[in-house]
Chain A
Amino acid sequence: MRIVAKMHHLTELETFMEMNLDVFLLETPYAKAAKHPFSMDDIKGLTASVHRQGKKVYLLMDRMIHEGDLSGITGYLSEVSSFVDGIVLADITVAIILQKLGAPRIGIYQPGPLNTHHHIASFVQDLGMRGWVLAPELTLSEIESITSVDSGVEIGFQGFGHIEMFHTRRHLLTSFFTHEAQSFDPQATYFLKEASRQEYYPIIESEEGTTIYRPIMSSRAYLDRLRACIDDVYLMRLDIDDDTYFQQVKAYLTGDFSLIHEEGYSIGYLEKMIDMDPEVGS
Chain B
Amino acid sequence: MSASLYLVAMIAVPAVGAAVTAALPGAPEGRDERAKRLALGTSLVVLVLAVLAALAFDPGGDRFQLTSSVSWIPDFGVSFALGVDGIALVMLLLIGVLVPVVVLASWRDTAPGERSMRTFFAWLLLLESMMVGVFAATDVFLFYVFFEAMLVPMYFLIGSFGGPRRQYAAVKFFLYSLVGGLVMLAAVIGLYVVSSSSLGEGTFAFDALRSIEIDPGVQKLLFLGFFVAFAIKAPLVPFHTWLPDSGAEAPIGGAVLLVGVLDKVGTFGFLRYCLPLFPDASRDFAPWVLALAVAGILYAALLAMGQSDMKRLVSYTSISHFGFIALGIFAFSTEAATGAVLYMVNHGIATGLLFLVVGMLIARGGSRRIADYGGVASRAPLLAGAFLVAGLASLALPGTNSFVSEFLVLIGSFPTRPVFTVLATVGIILAALYILLMYQRTMHGPPRGVLVGADDTTGGHGAPDREDAAAEAVPAAEAAPASETVPASAAEAGAATATATATEAAPRAGSLRVRDLDRRELAVVTPLIALILALGFYPQPVLDLIEPAVAATMSDVGADPAGTAPDTDPTGGTD
Bound pair: A and B?
A: no
Interface residues of B (CB under 8 A from A): none
